[in-house]
């Protein structure tokens, strides 16, 4: 089936490559041929005026369907001009032809209109085909990537198998490592991955950094105490770390210092680094090897390190899926909002992160006026629309949750200033009220209020920040009333 799809795609692409210049030549030749046939064989019916359907439709339809919008308009226009020219020729003069009459203008107008419409339809088909071809190419690329991952996993399996055959003690080590990688908690999994690397590659020190807000922050290290300065955050803008991030592959110090001496190599802060890739191919973490014996720093060790990082990527993908599934269980089925206790927990984490990094943090509270008066059937529609609106106007890292009070919702906006949050709040109010819901028995429109507060020095807890946002919400509600 794939072979037939490729053949069909090549054929369609060949049709798409039809030259627009050739279209204009075909229009001229076709109209000229019809004119000659008319004058030679039908001299009593100049311009095929009595023919139904008119022969010019053959030119208009074929050109528009084959070449698209611009040639379609051109075919319609040229056919219309030739038709009018024949009308003048038949009448003897422009005045006698009365070319502005409906009877004369009907066919020219239809030529132009149908040529344009068919051409635009053909253009839309071409665009749809191109999108489909792009998706097909993307799927092919994904399949090749999966095949490479499969081969890498098989190679890792063979390598580990050889080690098991050589050393009986390795069986227990491998079993413990494999069991440890089944853990779904990030902290425990990070330590297990470092233990696996230390056991199989014989490294003296290594570390794992996970991506957070565009940065790669230290998550775990082995050993914890070292006699050198281990960074809390990686600089991925240069050196072998840039290679890892940009090219998404394992890199060593030899990639950036190919002619270095052994002493110079062993003096570098990092010897190897490998990416932990998510399912969509993005770098979600970086494994680093800081110290290892020079005689163990071989191409075979580098290859094994790359295979182990690929294994670790699969383990972290499973753990991430578990966390996402667990988080989804904290959501309301209708609104998609997190429950209040989880929002407080996440808000507390964002407050700590904002204080450490000196970043802004804003909280929006939104309430539905007279929430308790809305009938249950209509309330479901309102809440689903609320969920859709929040998802459309928020970022992936924003936190949408429910307050302890029914009818009040909270939106945590990390790294957002008061001005940016005010724009979001106004947009939410405007769009929700723009639906013009009438959920009340007295046909009143749905109305919402928003209140917002930004993180300040006097805010010591998530509860206090929520309290201030709700107070601002109620103050605004009172002012409106």
- The CA-atom distances, in angstroms, between 351 and each of 86, 186, 270, 315, 324 are 80, 21, 33, 30, 22
The structure tokens listed for 385 are 């629309």
Q: Answer whether residue 309 is part of any domain.
A: yes
Cis omega (within 30 of 0) for bond into 335: no
Other residues' Cβ atoms within 10 Å of the Cβ of residue 21:
9
Is-contact 209 219, C-beta < 8 A?
yes
- Does 320 share its domain with 346? no
What is the domain range of residue 269?
A: 183-325
If one counts the domains in the chain, the total is 3
Q: What is the pLDDT of residue 120?
A: 83
CATH code for the domain in which residue 220 is found: 3.30.450.40
b vs e for 360-395, b when ≥16 Cβ sit within 10 Å of the residue's Cβ? Answer: bbbbbbbbbbebeebeeeebeebbebbbebbeeebe
Give the dihedral sign, CA 110/46/66/19. negative
Other residues' Cβ atoms within 10 Å of the Cβ of residue 262:
10
- Does 349 share its domain with 320? no
- Does 36 share its domain with 112? yes
Task: Report how far residue 322's alpha carbon sits from residue 324's, in angstroms, rounded to the nearest whole number.
Answer: 5
Among 118, 137, 156, where does a domain finish? 137
- Does 198 share its domain with 297? yes
Q: Answer whether residue 177 is part of any domain.
A: no
Which residue, among 361, 449, 344, has the nearest Cα to 404 in the 3D structure? 344
In the chain, how long is the greatest CA-to-CA distance?
107
Among 83, 104, 137, where does a domain finish? 137
CATH code for the domain in which residue 458 is found: 3.30.70.270
- Does 300 share its domain with 380? no
Blockwise average pLDDT, block size 10, the chain, 481 residues: 50 51 81 81 75 80 82 82 75 60 72 81 85 88 84 75 56 59 70 84 89 84 86 89 91 87 84 90 90 87 89 84 63 70 86 86 88 75 78 81 84 90 87 74 78 82 88 63 32
Q: What is the pLDDT of residue 81?
A: 82
Among 76, 106, 137, where does a domain finish? 137
Q: What is the pLDDT of residue 91?
A: 64
- Does 313 share its domain with 278? yes
Give CA angle at 128 (122, 131), nearest 5°: 145
Q: Answer whether residue 431 is part of any domain.
A: yes
Is-contact 27 75, C-beta < 8 A?
yes
The structure tokens listed for 279 are 């399912």
Q: What is the pLDDT of residue 4?
A: 46
Residue 331 DSSP one-character state: B
Q: Answer whether residue 42 is part of any domain.
A: yes
- Does 256 share its domain with 309? yes
Other residues' Cβ atoms within 10 Å of the Cβ of residue 478:
9
Q: Answer whether residue 332 is part of any domain.
A: no
- Does 349 share its domain with 315? no
Q: Answer whether residue 148 is part of any domain.
A: no
- Does 101 share its domain with 226? no
Q: What is the pLDDT of residue 2?
A: 47
Q: Any bridge partners for residue 291, and if so which?
A: 205
- Does 197 share its domain with 260? yes
- Does 113 share its domain with 203? no
- Does 202 share its domain with 312? yes
Strands 361-368 and 408-414, bridge-based pairing: antiparallel
Task: Report how far residue 339's alpha carbon sits from residue 151's, in angstroms, rounded to the nearest whole number.
Answer: 43
Q: Answer whether residue 171 is part of any domain.
A: no
């Amino acid at each position: 089936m794939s072979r037939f799809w490729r053949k069909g795609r090549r054929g369609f692409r060949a049709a798409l490559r039809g030259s627009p210049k050739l279209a204009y030549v075909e229009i001229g030749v076709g109209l000229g041929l019809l004119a000659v046939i008319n004058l030679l064989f039908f001299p009593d019916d100049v311009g095929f005026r009595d023919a139904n359907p008119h022969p010019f439709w053959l030119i208009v339809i074929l050109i528009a369907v084959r070449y698209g919008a611009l040639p379609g308009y051109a075919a319609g226009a040229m056919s219309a001009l030739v038709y009018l020219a024949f009308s003048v020729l038949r009448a003897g003069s422009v005045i006698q032809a009365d070319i502005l009459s409906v009877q004369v203008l009907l066919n020219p107008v239809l030529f132009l209109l149908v040529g344009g419409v068919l051409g635009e339809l053909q253009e839309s088909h071409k665009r749809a085909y191109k999108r489909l071809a792009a998706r097909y190419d993307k799927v092919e690329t994904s399949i090749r990537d999966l095949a490479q991952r499969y081969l890498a996993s098989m190679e890792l399996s063979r390598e580990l198998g050889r080690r098991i055959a050589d050393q009986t003690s390795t069986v227990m080590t491998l079993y413990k490592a494999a069991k440890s990688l089944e853990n779904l908690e990030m902290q425990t999994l990070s330590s297990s991955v470092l233990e696996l690397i230390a056991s199989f590659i014989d490294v003296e020190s290594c570390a794992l950094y996970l991506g957070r807000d565009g940065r790669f922050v230290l998550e775990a290290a082995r050993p914890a105490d070292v006699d050198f300065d281990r960074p809390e955050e990686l600089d991925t803008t240069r050196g072998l770390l840039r290679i890892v991030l940009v090219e998404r592959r394992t890199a060593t110090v030899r990639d950036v210092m190919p002619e270095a001496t052994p002493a110079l190599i062993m003096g570098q802060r990092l010897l190897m680094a490998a990416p932990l890739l998510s399912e969509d191919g993005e770098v979600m973490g970086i494994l680093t090897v800081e110290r290892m014996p020079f005689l163990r720093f071989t191409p075979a060790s580098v290859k094994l390190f790359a295979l182990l990082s690929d294994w670790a990527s699969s383990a972290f993908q499973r753990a991430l899926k578990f966390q996402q599934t667990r988080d989804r269980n904290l959501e309301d089925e209708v609104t998609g909002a997190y429950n209040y206790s989880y929002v407080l927990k996440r808000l507390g984490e964002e407050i700590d992160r904002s204080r450490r990094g000196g970043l802004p943090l804003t909280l929006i509270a939104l309430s539905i006026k007279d929430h308790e008066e809305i009938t249950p059937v209509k309330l479901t529609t309102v809440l689903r629309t609320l969920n859709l609106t929040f998802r459309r106007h928020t970022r992936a890292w924003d936190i949408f949750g429910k307050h302890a009070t029914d009818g009040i919702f909270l939106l945590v906006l990390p790294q957002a200033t008061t001005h940016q949050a005010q724009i979001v709040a106004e947009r939410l109010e405007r769009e929700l009220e723009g639906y013009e819901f009438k959920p009340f028995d007295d046909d009143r429109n749905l109305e919402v209020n928003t209140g917002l507060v930004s993180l300040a020095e006097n805010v010591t807890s998530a509860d206090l920040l929520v309290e201030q946002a709700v107070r601002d919400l109620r103050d605004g509600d009172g002012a409106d009333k």
